[in-house]
Amino acid sequence: MNCLDSSARSRIVSCLVEGCSIRATSRMTGASKNTIVRLLADLGCACAAHHNRYVRNLKVRRLQADEIWSFVGAKAKNVRLEKKQEGWGDVWTWVGIDADTKLVLSYLVGGRDGGWAKEFMNDCASRIKNRVQITTDGHKAYLEAVEDAFGADIDYAQLQKLYGAPSQEEQRKYSPARCIGCDMKVVSGDPDPAHVSTSYVERQNLTMRMSMRRFTRLTNAFSKKVDNHRHMVALHYMYYNFCRVHQTLRVSPAMESKLTDHVWTIGELIALLPKPTVSASQIEKNVMAKALAAQAKV
């Protein structure tokens, strides 16, 4: 990856954040798949580190949380036991978004049980500095997780969607059941009913599926390794927060949250990568090459 110049890296990253697969990116840029995967791994780690360090001390009035499903290697029902040890199976991405600035302030890739819910909600709480109103879906794991992270100083409601029985036409084709209503349940505090909603985080989930090829349903596009899955999620949310102009806000979510004063370019995103270092053996090779070249001239 160190052999790539900035413009080559920019082309690769531009393809990845716009929903291209690794193979499609390789065909369009001429870079090998291994080179692209190495760049993705390094940049994903850099993006996660930057998010963890700087997306903090936020003033958030309304937090919406949800979880989005995907899988690594194969769906859980088709995974052999030895492959489960490698991280294959269903993978859930927990997402918390500020309903006003559209900033994704926390995300977590893992399972869907109570332990993951607590880790996710504790991370959300560590990034918010004020009392906040939270809305989630009806997933039971949120109940204990929200209380554990925020305590009693919280306005929290769950919004459970109600679906009707699928018609014969809906059973025949691939389409979700029709939503016939919502059931709102106040869990703690005094949440404003007008703002009890998960619409923004669910819309962000659509953006996520459209922007990452490995999240596309009903295709052979899926992650083969859970680490690469996490790296791509980190890259996506860094690009979404800092580089992508939101259609409604006309600025990036990070600008709306006062985390930056301009829309980042892909070049600035790539600048998060650590500077390449030269090993001692490489220095010795360079010195030897120069000495041989000088001797040849004599």
Span 165-192, average pLDDT: 76
Q: What is the DSSP letter of 231?
A: H
148 vs 179, higher pLDDT? 148
Reduced to 3 DSSP states, what percent helix, strand and coil does the chain have, rounded to the nearest 5? Answer: 50, 20, 35
Question: What is the per-residue pLDDT across 243-276, written as a single tens digit (0 to 9) for each?
Answer: 999 999 999 999 999 999 999 999 999 999 987 6
pLDDT at 275: 76
pLDDT at 41 over 60: yes
Q: Can you read off the two tokens belonging to residue 163?
A: 């679906």
Residue 254 lies in a domain: no
The CA distance from 102 to 7, in Å, is 30
* Within a domain: 270: no
240 and 211 Cβ atoms separated by less than 8 Å: yes
Mean pLDDT is lowest, of 17-31, 164-178, 184-198, 244-258, for 164-178
3-class DSSP state for residue 163? strand
Q: Is residue 148 part of a domain?
A: yes
Q: What is the CATH number of the domain that holds 85?
A: 3.30.420
Segments forming the whole domain that contains residue 107: 57-223
Alpha-carbon distances, residue 239 vs 74, 178, 251 (angstroms): 27, 33, 13
| Residue at 24 is within a domain | no
Residue 261 CB burial class (10 angstroms; 0-12, 13-18, ≥19): exposed
pLDDT tens for 115-124 read 999 999 999 9
Please indicate, yes or no, if residue 26 is contained in any of the structural domains.
Answer: no
- Side-chain-side CA neighbours of 15 within 13 Å: the count stands at 21
Q: pLDDT tens digits, residue range 124-143?
A: 999 999 999 999 999 999 99
The yes-or-no verdict on residue 174 having pLDDT over 70 is no
52 is a domain residue: no
List, for residues 159-173, the tens digit of each pLDDT value: 987 777 776 666 666
pLDDT digits (tens, 9 = 90+) for 53-84: 999 999 999 999 999 999 999 999 999 888 88
Q: What is the per-residue pLDDT for 1?
A: 46
Residue 22 counted as domain residue: no
Structural domains counted in the chain? 1
98 located within any domain: yes
